[in-house]
Structure 1
Amino acid sequence: MLEAIQRIKTRIQTTQSRQKSYTDVRRKDLEFEVSDKVFLKVAPIQGFLRFGRKGKLSHRFIGPFEILERIDPIPYRLALAPSLSTVHGAFHVTILRKYVADPSHVIDYEPLQLNESLSYKEKPSRFLKVK
């Protein structure tokens, strides 16, 4: 009986070490600089409304927010919007996602020319190539 228990323990340990080595290869340590822009991951909790919408279409990330300071290797302090003044400003590095600025995401604002009947003619602003 003791031999069987010892054999099971060694097999479990080898399996765990193999899985850990697979995970360690893919893991990357996150680090951000002060004044970087990041998104904040908001966990959707059933029936809990904190960051705007509730349900299936609730936001997964909000932001971007600027990093004000690095408190320790793990927590960061963010410059939050005034609407989030009730939320604590320090966040764990795992719930932050780097914001990569892409100028193609910015769409120029053009005022609408309304007719007398308060209707307007739609014109596409840009054509996107589908791969």
Structure 2
Amino acid sequence: MAPYEALYGRKCRSPIRWFEMGESSLFGPDLVHQAVEKVKHIPERLRITQSCQKSYSDVCRRDLEFQLELVHPVFHVSMLRKYIRDPSRIVPVENVQVMEDLLYEEIPIAILDRQVYKLRMKEVASVKVLWCNKNVEKVTWEAEKTMKAKYLHLFQPEGSI
């Protein structure tokens, strides 16, 4: 199988089959001359197609311009400072509980706030949760339903335990 046939799934059309069926009786220099004329049209048609594609892409494309008023595009070594070691920023390795899939579980400390979002047909309750990750504390809004399912002890009053 020829490479062209393997790639396109059909046989390659040789220059002899580029002509109409009635012209197939031509042989000799006339056939070669007509084949050369047909081949000359190929670069012209490619050029037309490329210009059409370029005009289409030029309509969709915009030039990006950046305003570097306060930020200089060059970072110089003289702007660096010496690193001062801070022991409070070091996380002890033995305290981090990493699972087999390289994830860790964050522990919620408290519920700080509750908010209800009113949509057209329903209401969605959210709670503001304070999370503890060893040395860093962060706050996120979570769905109240999922938090009650996982951490019910955070919603119970202090004296009821």
More helix by share: 2
- Superposition TM-score, scaled by structure 2 size: 0.26
The answer to which structure, 1 or 2, has the higher relative contact order (CA under 8 A, 6+ apart) is 1
Which structure has the larger Rg?
2
TM-score normalized with structure 1 length:
0.32
